[in-house]
Amino acid sequence: MLTANNALLLVLILASGFWDLKERKIPNKITFTGMLIGLLFNIITGGWTGLLQGILGLFAGLAIFFVPFAMGGMGAGDVKLMGAIGALMGWRFSVMTALYSAIVGGIMVLFHLLYTGKLRETLKKMLYALINFLLQFAIRLGYNETVYKAHERFSKKGQDYKKIYIPYGVAIAGGAVLVLIAYKNGYPIF
């Protein structure tokens, strides 16, 4: 049976996923409305305790993706969407959604790389970047001419590694649906 908060969640993530696919952006009118509805829903159903749960969920949802956002790994709309999910469903649900979203996002990137034929090239560049990082670490431990030359060679090969952008609102929507399915099938959220 579909509960009211689950129905509201589905509307929120479907709208967000649709806009993210279409415009590569999740509008504030969706995320802020989701936050407001989530807090109001929790006040109506749980009073002051519900409001507290909604506020904790809102801040947990915002906090989860703040660091990736600050590092340029995702957009502000994705962060606000997680805040809206947390405001509606609570902090535990937002944490689990973030974990499931990472899995869905990884699968989306893998399919994108397979579809574009860039999987091998991307893995190779990622390997160069990893080797470069390890060589930089070795240089910091103690200067070695051989290590320094290897670092120069690998840093040039890994320089043109480009980020892969996916509509992460879709991954968040997929993660939220997976959490709902897991919960419905008796798997505890936390």
Task: For tokens 């936050």, name the residue.
Answer: 35
The per-residue pLDDT of the chain, averaged, comes to 86
> Which stretches within 2-118 are classed as H helix?
4-23, 28-64, 66-70, 76-89, 91-116
**CA-to-CA distance for 118 and 110, rounded, in angstroms?**
10
Q: Nearest-CA neighbor of 77 among 6, 12, 4?
A: 12
**CA-to-CA distance for 174 and 97, rounded, in angstroms?**
9
Contact call for residues 84 and 38 (beta carbons, < 8 A):
yes
Q: What is the pLDDT confidence band of residue 145, given thresholds at 50, 70 and 90?
A: low
pLDDT for res 155: 59
Buried b (16+ CB within 10 A) or exposed e, 151-166: beebbeebeebeeeeb
Which tokens hold the place of 55? 């506020």
**Does the pLDDT value for residue 163 go beyond 70?**
no
From 21-25, 46-50, 55-59, 110-114, the region with the lowest mean pLDDT: 110-114
pLDDT for res 52: 95
From residue 168, how far is each of 138, 142, 154, 161 by CA, in Å? 35, 41, 30, 20
**CA-to-CA distance for 55 and 157, rounded, in angstroms?**
47
Tell me the per-residue pLDDT of 50-105, one tens digit each, with 9 for 90 and over: 999 999 999 999 999 998 888 888 899 999 999 999 999 999 999 999 999 999 99
pLDDT for res 32: 97
Check residues 185 and 59 and name the one with the higher pLDDT.
59
**Does the pLDDT value for residue 147 go beyond 90?**
no
Residue 67 C-alpha from the chain's centroid: 11
**Does the pLDDT value for residue 152 go beyond 80?**
no
**Does the pLDDT value for residue 116 go beyond 90?**
no
pLDDT for res 34: 96
Contact call for residues 41 and 8 (beta carbons, < 8 A):
yes
Task: Please give the average per-residue pLDDT across 120-130, as a whole number.
Answer: 79
Q: Nearest-CA neighbor of 163 among 117, 116, 125?
A: 125
pLDDT for res 149: 64
**Does the pLDDT value for residue 159 go beyond 60?**
no
